[in-house]
Structure 1
Amino acid sequence: MKHWLTGLSVVVLAALLLLGWQYLTPPSGDAQTRAPRVQSVHVVMPEHQAVEDRIRAVGTLRAREAITVSSEVSGRVVTLAFRTGQEVSRGDLLVQLDDRQARADLQVAEARLDDARRQLRRAQQLRGSNSIAQSRVDELRTAVDVAVAERNAAAVRLDNHRIEAPFAGVVGLRELSAGAYVESGDTLTTLDAVDPMELRFAIPERYLGQLKPGLSLQADSAAWPDRSFIGTLSELDTRVDPLSRSLKVKALIDNPQRLLRSGQFMSVQLVLRAREALVVPEQAVLLRGDEQYLFVVGDEGKAQRRRVALGARKPGWVEIRSGLTADEQVIVTAQDRLSSGDALRILEGRDNAIPPNRLTGTEAG
């Protein structure tokens, strides 16, 4: 009985101590009235500026005309009439093969044609005096036609020993030397038409309604980091790729200095349309998940969080499509420490991180 009373006394004493501690402990942060915070910030006024809707893509350069030069006949190389990187015109000689046998074959074919024509003329004279049958005249006329065809074939075989440029362009690497024997189909060199160059890339299908030939674009290459190349959209494919949901397009880029080469990788910015729009410095906009927002100076000089929809971007600036008016002050510094309702002290002057703009504000308590 005594032990039971002792245990009960200990429990009662512990309960009294716990109640006393809770009574004496001051209330936590949520129960206290929080002292108002004052944040020092810089602000700007939104501006109306010219912005452009641009599509960014990557593409590959190709020559507008490009072939692998090869031989249609076998033979020994007599003349190489080009050097690597040389510009040639249409019809210029590139390679001459030994054509002595082909010339002899042409002479034989021409001699047979001359003989066939003489026999036909004689038969036609005899036919006038009924000294020869009409069937014989017809046979000789056919023989002339065959001889003409053989002569033409021999002339083509002779021409095939002379390999000429089919269009104006730049010749690539030499794949052989004079005196080498080449087989029919062997690669001799390459020929590319390099001015203008053709840039191929793909555009998402959602932009189809804004695409048309003649749109201007800017292309950049890692090989020439200090310059950009200007081109125009020239061709649109007739089909949308069902896998990538994109449309293949071609653009022409002037290349008068021969700086660009076929196969080169380029990044592309295609300008769809230009317009006046409301813009703010990029640093004013914050992201949280899919939400895009910024802070403005609200009533009584307090911070107000504002969800916005963004549009086009330009260096240092971003278009605000909705959620902001032109007469609202936008906070551009210390946003990561702000909450809606915080009191603000608006600093005068220009923060170094802010693009040139109309910084505004006087001291606000």
Structure 2
Amino acid sequence: MTTNSAARERFTLGRETRLPPLLALALCALATWLPGPAPASAQETPPVAVIGATVMASTWQDPVEALGTLRADESVTLSSTLTGTVSALNFEDGNEVAANQWLVQLDDAQAQAELRAAQALLGQRQSALNRAQQLQDRNLGVRATLEDNAALVKQSEAEIDAIRARLADHRLQAPFAGTVGLREISVGALVTPGTELVTLDKLDTMKLDFTVPATLLSVLHPGLTLSATTPSYPDQVFRAEVATLGTRIDPISRSLVVRANLPNPDGRLLPGMLMEVQLNQPAREALTIPESALVPDGERQTVWLIEPGQPPHVTRREVATGERRQGEVEIIAGLDGGQRIVTHGTLKVREGDPVELVAENVGEGDIKDVLERQRRAIESRASD
């Protein structure tokens, strides 16, 4: 009797100890089927504040960059053609001189003496010719004598012309109006043929020569506009037009020399200056977006496209880009005119996120003001 009672008691205790795990299992199964609170991902996502821009068609000019060198419109180095001593100078360093103004005078005393002797001989021969002519008019002279005297007069005239030409070589004149360089000679200096005496440059207009690839020959023509800068005046842009195209293509570099004329009324530009040239090709229509809208994705370029809706949401769109200029990029494929894209806030959005467009088509200089207004609006809503 005692034994059976003990057994029943152990059985009853075993059942009591096993009930809680079974109950827990049932509760877990029931919890699985009963609806619970919605997960956080299923709750409504607040719109992300972004700044956008509209894809627009604009006039686009593909720039061609090149390096060029300035040359004077006219430039010459005057040198002596004979041996002589400098007797006078008619210029100072950097003077503006007129055309045909004499600059350097060489000693011409000997040539002047030769000229006077030749002129005296010409007078003598002219008198002899006159007497022979008078006798011939009276039928008293010989025809051959008259012809010999006439030939001697012509000979003397030719000798005088030659002496005067040598005298002209003693005085160097400016072939055109311009600016002389630094004076390197002094009165009394002995010069020989080939000695450089003075430089002369016409600086009111400068020739800008630069090279471009021959592949652009089809779009190059006189009249194309260009802008040029130089490290000497970093804050100034010089504008001009293409004046002439070279007639030969370099067989090694496959490039063509192009020349433009730069006005230089104040004389700031000097021959030999290095110029950075930006040549504008003919204008064309192109779709453009702000460069800040591009989101690199490996080797691809993408943008966040703002799809219409309540509220608007974004989708990632791959685009093909073309040329770039300051702050803008050309879109070849992937977008249409009039569509809107995210320009600021691209790192905060994900595929399908709703967005709040706080500003559109804002310049880079106004971004700070837009962000400040947005910050104030958030603080105002928080305080309410």
> TM-score normalised to the size of structure 2?
0.73
Amino acid at match of 2:319: R
Name the aligned partner's letter for residue 334 of structure 2: G
1:22-33 pair list within 5 angstroms: none
Residue of structure 2 equivalent to 1:318: 329
Are the equivalent residues in 1 in contact too, given 2:248–2:256 (CA < 8 A)? yes
The 3 A distance-change label for structure 1 pair 110 and 286 is farther
User: Residue 127 of structure 2 aligns with which residue?
Assistant: 118
The within-5 A match list for 1:1-365 is: 42-129=51-138, 131-285=140-294, 293-297=301-305, 301-311=313-323, 313-333=324-344, 342-344=351-353, 346=355, 348-349=357-358, 354=364
Unaligned runs of 5+ in 1: 1-34, 360-365
More off after superposition, 77-86 vs 216-225: 77-86
Q: Which amino acid aligns with 1:81?
A: N
Structure with greater Cα Rg:
2
User: How far off is 1:196 after superposition?
Assistant: 0.6
One-letter amino acid of the counterpart of residue 309, structure 1:
T
**Secondary structure at 1:56's aligned position in 2?**
strand
Q: Is the 8 A contact 1:42 1:346 kept in 2?
A: no
**1:221-271 Cα shifts (integer Å, max 9, x gaps):** 100011111222111112222222222111110111111000000011222
- In structure 2, the partner of 1:20 is none
CA contact under 8 A between 2:56 and 2:338: conserved in structure 1?
A: no
Aligned residue for 1:320, secondary structure, equals strand
Q: Partner of 1:27 in structure 2?
A: none
Structure whose residues are more often helix by fraction:
2
Give the 3 Å change call, closer, same or farther, for CA 287–172 of structure 1 in structure 2.
farther
| Partner secondary structure for residue 321 of structure 1 | strand
TM-score, normalised via structure 1 length? 0.77
Identity %: 37
Q: Which amino acid aligns with 2:280?
A: V
Seen in structure 2, the aligned counterparts of structure 1 residues 226 and 138 have a Cα distance that, compared at 3 Å, is same
Question: Any idea what the Cα deviations from partners look like across 1:265-319, whole Å, max 9, x if unmatched?
Answer: 0011222323443211123346789x662323277945424131313x4321122
8 Å CA contact 1:310, 1:322 repeated in 2: no
Distance in 1 (CA, whole Å) between partners of 2:186 and 2:203 is 25
Deviations 1:94-119 (A, max 9, x none): 11122222211111121222222222
Asked if structure 1 preserves the Cα contact closer than 8 Å seen for 2:306 and 2:342, the reply is no
Could you tell me how far 1:52 is from its partner in structure 2?
Answer: 2.4
Q: Report the Cα distance in structure 2 between the residues aligned to 1:170 and 1:286, rounded to whole angstroms.
A: 56
User: Once the 2 structures are TM-superposed, how far is the Cα of residue 148 of structure 1 from its aligned partner?
Assistant: 1.4
One-letter amino acid matched to 2:77:
T
Quick one: structure 1 residues 104 and 332, their matched pair in 2 at CA, closer, same or farther if it must change by over 3 Å?
same
Partners of 1:57 and 1:156 in 2: CA distance: 47
Q: Answer yes or no: is the 8 Å Cα contact 1:294–1:330 preserved in 2.
A: no
The separation in 1 between residues aligned to 2:290 and 2:241, in whole angstroms, is 30
Q: Secondary structure at the match of 1:57?
A: strand
Aligned residues of 1:309 and 1:323 also touching (Cα < 8 A)? no
CA drift of 1:330 comes to 2.9
Q: Classify 1:114/1:280 alpha carbon distance in 2 versus 1 (closer, same or farther; 3 Å).
A: same
Q: How far apart are the structure 2 equivalents of 1:195 and 1:288?
A: 53
Distance in 1, Cα, partners of 2:47 & 2:167: 90
Following the alignment from structure 2 to structure 1, what is the Cα–Cα distance between the partners of residues 231 and 249? 29
| CA spacing shift, 1:162–1:292, aligned 2, 3 Å | farther
Using a 3 Å threshold, how does the CA distance of structure 1 residues 206 and 334 change in structure 2: closer, same or farther?
farther
* TM-superposed deviation, 1:156: 1.1
CA 1:69–1:350 in 2, change beyond 3 Å: closer, same or farther?
farther
- What CA RMSD, in Å, does the superposition of the two structures yield over aligned residues? 3.2
